[in-house]
Amino acid sequence: MKKVYFIRHAKSSWNDPGLSDIERPLNKRGLRDGPFMSKMLKGKDVKPDKLISSPANRAFTTATFFAKELNIPEQAIVVRKEIYHAYPEEVLNIIRNLSDVDDVILLFGHNPCFTSLANQFSEEYIPNVPTCGIVKVEADVKRWSDFEKEGKLKAFYFPKQYL
């Protein structure tokens, strides 16, 4: 069984117009939701083999909350520049090329890509994966190269369900 948790970055700040998009930090709500959602996921006994993040500050910071909560060193977070401004096909290509020894992946990125991916694996339309939303996709396969054909959305969590 292969599992990917697509995790959209927590809410970011637009307060500093001097920052580039990739540098934008989390805002107050993002700093609340990131730790909260990481605790929620830990409570579901998720044990990832790998964390992969966009290089954007808001995505990487979100990934660090999950790493801390799941007792994974921050240095173990793999940064993939192609996740930033990615099309779904680019993210699927990352997944296809994962090591088959890994079974559970947390992937941190952005919309509109993550909403498109959620809908690719869902039987029901999802209009939006909100900030810090988590989409769990499972596939009963041994190889990541087969994940896309067999993957099914199994869960969808987001902060407003809880807060």
The average pLDDT across 140-150 equals: 97
The hierarchical CATH code for the domain 2-161 is 3.40.50.1240
pLDDT tens-digit series, residues 31-79: 999 999 999 999 999 999 999 999 999 999 999 999 999 999 999 999 9
Q: pTM (2 decimals)?
A: 0.97
Q: Are strands 50-53 and 2-8 parallel, antiparallel or unpaired?
A: unpaired
For residues 97-119, give the mean pLDDT: 98
pLDDT reported for residue 28: 97
Q: What are the extents of the domains in the chain?
A: 2-161
Residue 163 has pLDDT above 90, yes or no: no
